[in-house]
Structures are given as C-alpha cells and as structure tokens.
Chains A and B, each alone.
Chain A
Amino acid sequence: MRIPPRRIARQTGIAWTAATALALVAPILITIWGAFSHSEFYGQRSEGAPVQGTADLFRYVLGIWGEALLHSAALVAAVVPLALLLGAPAAYAFRRRPFPGARWLESAALAPLALPGIALAVALIETAGGAPRFLLLVAGHLAYTVPLVLKTVGNALSGFDPALESAAKALGAPPVETTRRIVLPLLVPSLVLAALLVFAVSWGEFNVSFLLATPLLQTFPAALYSTYTTNSFPVAAAATIVFLLPVVPALLAIQALGGEEFHRGLPA
C-alpha cells in the first residue's frame, strides 16, 4: 500500500505542531500537578509544618502574597481604563481625522514595543524617582499597553466604512450622536479585545514592574520571583496557579475574538 507523499507531509506537519504544543504545555501541567500532589518527589518543603494539603497550600500562598495580589489588581484596574482612554480616541484620530504629525505620533506610540522594559524603568526612576511608585508603575504599564489599543482599535476602524459616519452626518446627526450611536457600537468588539489584551499584559508584566517595585509595593509577578527563589516547589507551583487563574480565561476570550496576533510583539 502506497501513501501519497502529500499525506505524509501533512501528517508529519501535524505531528510537529502537536509536539510543539506539547513541549510548551508540559511544564505547565507538571506545575499544576506539583501544586495538587503531595509527594516529596521535588524535595523538602522549606516552609516547615503548617502547610498540609492543597487548601492549606493555597491559604499559605494567599497569606504571604495577598498584598501583592491586591497591588496587581489595583494596577490593572487603573491601567485598563487609562490605556483605553489614551489609545482609543487617538486611534480614531489617526484613522479618521489625520492631522499634521499624526504618523509620527503613531509610530512614536508603537516604539516602546521594541524598547527594553528595564530601560524605561530606569529612565522613569532617574527622572521622577520621587513620585509615588504606584504612578510610575501605571506609567510604565501604559507605555507597553497603549500600543495594543492603537493596533486593535485602529484595525477595527480600517475594517468599517467611513461612509456610515458620513451618512449619519448627512442625515443631520451631530458629532456626539454619531459617535454614540454609530462609531462606539461598531467599535465595541475591538474595545473589549483591547481591554482583555491590556489586562493580560499588565497582569503579567515583570520587566518594568520588578525595578519599580518597592518592598511595600510589590506586584504579583515580582512576588513570584521571590517565591521562586525562596519557597519550595509546591508553594511556587501554587503561586503560579494563582497567577494563571485570571490570565487563562482572558487568553481564551482573546482567542475567541481572534486577537492573539495583536500581542505577539510584546516583550517577554
């Protein structure tokens, strides 16, 4: 029996893809297993007696990193609306109301994507080290998340006909009414996608946050670093799961909206 070469190529390609996916997911599965199993396979617990059982493990993690978790939540709560407020009107201006220097401004706003996070963190500390650290964290996160809003909203605006707006205008609708009843409803999917992307990125951001964090104001990824260097494997695994819990649903939603290609260019 001869199998056509085209089919062999296809099957090999699918196997290659599956192997790639498996290699990327395997360490996550091992980590989850590590948080829910209690074998001493990965060595002694350094935390001593109090941690016994999965519920206890997560209680312990929330006990030591609860505050960092709250800081990350507050940061995300500030960054998501601010990124949308800065990015969405500007994206509209770039696509529909171009003005002198608009192209320059747009590429300047996208440039931070290729700028090492640590460089911006150092620059912010040197320039405004006296400002409240929370504000510097917000600024650093905005620099890396506003580009996502510009790209998603800009892409959506390129996708629908400006004639819809002209028609509303020709029919006598004032600009506010056109924005409220035509533009915004059409942009809702892209605004939701942008919010999800900003959330996912801001929640996981480390390069800027770690340097800007202070002992009293740590973000959760910065806390993860402490956990990875000081705690035992089950505690580190449990903290990782706490970190992943909000990100994975956000990622699934981003995929459902077809948006994963927008955050491919982000610094790791």
Chain B
Amino acid sequence: MRSGAAARPWAGALLALPLLLFLCGLVLWPMGRLAAAAFAGPGAPALRAVLAAGRYRTALGHSLLLSAAAALAAVALSLVPAWILARERFRGRDLLRTAISLPLTFSGVLVGFLMIVLLGRIGAVPKLLELLTGRPFLASLAYTPAGLFLAYLYFEVPRAVVTLESAFRRFPWELDAAARTLGAGPFARLTRVVLPLAAPALRSTLAITFSASMGSFGVALLLSRRFSVAPLEVYTELTGFLNDAVAGALCLVLAVMTLAVDRLLGGGRE
C-alpha cells in the first residue's frame, strides 16, 4: 500500500486533477478577480466606500451583530435537545430528530415565508392571540429585526443540534465519571472537565451557525424592511444601482469577515 503510493505519487494527483482545475477556474480565479476589482483604481475607491461610515458599513455591522447573536442563541437553545437526542432513549426520539433536522434543507426564502406564516401581518401567532385576547399581538413581527433574528434561529437551531449531538455522542463521559470518583463536585466537574472537553465542539458549532447566517440572503430579502444586512446591500447595488465595483468590494469584505471568524473559531469543519 505504502510502496504503491510512493511508487506512483502522480496517481493521486491525477485523480484530484479535475477538482483542482474546477477550483482554480471557477472558484479561486473569480474570487481573485473580485478581490482585484475591489482594490482597483487609485486609493481603491470601492473598498474605501464600503469601509467608510455609511450604509455599507452599517449593513456589514448589522450582518455581524445579527449572525453573532443568532449563533450564540442557537447554541444555547440547542444544548439540551442535542444532549437528550445523544444520551437518552425514549419513544419518539427518531421522530423528534427527524422533525428537528428537516429545516436543514430549506433555503432562505422558504424560511422567510414560514416566518411570515407564523408572524406576518395575518400570521398564525397573532391570529391565535387575537382569538385568545381580542388583540392581534405580535402581528408583523416577521418584518422587524426581531423577526429576522427568529428566522435566523429557525435555520440555525437544526444545524446546532445536529452538530452538538454528534459531538456529545463522541464525548468521553468516563473522564467525567473519573472526576466524580475522585470527589469533584458538579460545579468543579462542569468547569474543569466537561466544559474544557466540550469547548472545541461548541466553537465549531458557533463557526458553522455564524457562517451560515453571514451568507444567508433569502430570509432578509423576503423579511427585511428597513434593517439592511450585507448580502441584501450587495443585491441592491448590483441590480438597483448597477454598481458592480461596490457590490464586489462588499462581497469581498463579507467573505473575509466570515472566513476570518470561521478560522478564529477553529475552522469548524474538521
């Protein structure tokens, strides 16, 4: 096996050649051109416009804030379901797991629509509240920043549960048991054993949910009214103002921010 691999190092390279050509031609080259265009001109005016105070930077800030908040909230909400699905046996567990991972395949527009169904102008929740209290509370919440946050949670919670569940399954519980045998209390075990061991999984879950939100476009396209996020601003620049240079620079900054946080959190994609 080893000798075979050593004797024909070109065999592996040959097998991966189509992938290499595809990546260079249709991912790296276009992204490189995008970066070059953003830096084009004396003083890189497009990039400067994006980074200067104003609507572009506001949109980037909104994206960052919304994605970070939704990622943290999604991980917090998902710890218990992931734990239960990984550790407990009970009737209906498979059904619950299927229900929770169903939205993994939904595109952003679909999530946006579901949020309108729940919390739109005549959504199900306000309608129900009207039946109960006589007033349609929470109507049109879907179109506010809070609604956008809930929509992001909707597609992030399944991602977080699935990621954390597979981490909890591989968790070395015998170390926790050993700490208990050695006399450690619940708090000491949580802070000195469980959390340090779970930290990589938590970080990679945050990375996954964060980058899913940073790139999400369909949800905001359908729901956002005044609260702009970066992908939406790219779309407006491109189709509304035909401002390719600024759209490209915005894309570049968005991509760099997303990839940087993803790396910072440890890649998240083993």
Q: Which residues of A10-38 have CB atoms within 8 Å of chain B's CB atoms? A: 10, 13-14, 16-18, 20-22, 24-28, 30-31, 34
CB distance from A9 to the nearest CB of B (A): 10
Please determine whether B116 and A268 come into contact, CB atoms closer than 8 angstroms. Answer: no
B residues within 8 A CB of A111?
A: 259
Please determine whether B105 and A210 come into contact, CB atoms closer than 8 angstroms. Answer: no
CA distance A267 to B258 in the complex (A): 11
B residues within 8 A CB of A55?
A: none
Q: Is B176 an interface residue (CB 8 A)?
A: no
Q: Is A200 an interface residue (CB 8 A)?
A: yes
B residues within 8 A CB of A250?
A: 105
Please determine whether A99 and B231 come into contact, CB atoms closer than 8 angstroms. Answer: no
**Given A224-B110, A251-B104, A260-B104, A118 and B19 touching (CB < 8 A)?**
no
Q: Is A134 an interface residue (CB 8 A)?
A: no
Please determine whether A224 and B99 come into contact, CB atoms closer than 8 angstroms. Answer: no
The A-B contact count (CB < 8 A) is: 299
**Given A93-B12, A268-B155, A27 and B114 touching (CB < 8 A)?**
yes
Q: Is B144 an interface residue (CB 8 A)?
A: no
Q: Is B247 an interface residue (CB 8 A)?
A: yes
Q: Is B75 an interface residue (CB 8 A)?
A: no
Q: State which of A98, A114, A200, A206 has its C-beta within 8 Å of the C-beta of B258.
A: A114
Please determine whether A122 and B5 come into contact, CB atoms closer than 8 angstroms. Answer: no
Which of B100, B116, B163 gathers the greatest number of chain A CB atoms within 10 Å? B100
CA distance A114 to B230 in the complex (A): 15
Q: State which of A122, A247, A251 has its C-beta within 8 Å of the C-beta of B247.
A: A122
Q: Which residue of B lies closest to A97 (CB)?
A: B12
Q: State which of A120, A162, A247 has its C-beta within 8 Å of the C-beta of B1.
A: A162
CA distance A67 to B219 in the complex (A): 24
Q: Is A92 an interface residue (CB 8 A)?
A: yes
CA distance A248 to B103 in the complex (A): 10
Residues on B lying within 8 angstroms of A by beta carbon are: 1, 4-5, 8-16, 18-20, 22-23, 26-31, 33-34, 37, 77-78, 80-81, 83-85, 88, 90, 92, 95-118, 122, 124, 127, 154-159, 161-163, 165-166, 207-208, 211-219, 221-222, 230-231, 234-235, 238, 244, 247-248, 251-252, 254-255, 258-259, 262, 268-269
Please determine whether A146 and B19 come into contact, CB atoms closer than 8 angstroms. Answer: yes
Q: State which of B31, B96, B110, B115 has its C-beta within 8 Å of the C-beta of A21.
A: B96
Please determine whether A255 and B98 come into contact, CB atoms closer than 8 angstroms. Answer: yes
CA distance A116 to B117 in the complex (A): 26
Please determine whether A210 and B98 come into contact, CB atoms closer than 8 angstroms. Answer: no
**Which DSSP category, helix, strand, loop or mixed, fits chain A's interface?**
helix
Q: Which residue of B lies closest to A166 (CB)?
A: B1
A residues within 8 A CB of B98?
A: 251-252, 255
Please determine whether B99 and A113 come into contact, CB atoms closer than 8 angstroms. Answer: no
B residues within 8 A CB of A247?
A: 105
CB distance from A212 to the nearest CB of B (A): 11
**Given A10-B88, A229-B222, A108 and B12 touching (CB < 8 A)?**
no
B residues within 8 A CB of A102?
A: 12, 16
**Given A43-B122, A92-B15, A120-B30, A206 and B23 touching (CB < 8 A)?**
no
CA distance A59 to B115 in the complex (A): 26
Please determine whether A268 and B162 come into contact, CB atoms closer than 8 angstroms. Answer: no
Please determine whether B27 and A143 come into contact, CB atoms closer than 8 angstroms. Answer: yes
Which of A31, A118, A163, A200 gathers the greatest number of chain B CB atoms within 10 Å? A118
Which of A43, A90, A265 gathers the greatest number of chain B CB atoms within 10 Å? A265
Which of B22, B105, B252 gathers the greatest number of chain A CB atoms within 10 Å? B105
Q: Which residue of B lies closest to A112 (CB)?
A: B27
Q: State which of B22, B90, B105, B248 has its C-beta within 8 Å of the C-beta of A122.
A: B248
Q: State which of A105, A122, A128, A224 has its C-beta within 8 Å of the C-beta of B23.
A: A105
B residues within 8 A CB of A162?
A: 1
Please determine whether A267 and B211 come into contact, CB atoms closer than 8 angstroms. Answer: yes
Task: Across the A-B interface, give the 10 residue pairs with the lowest CB-CB distance, nearest first.
Answer: A97-B12, A116-B215, A123-B30, A119-B251, A206-B107, A27-B114, A21-B99, A93-B12, A93-B15, A127-B30
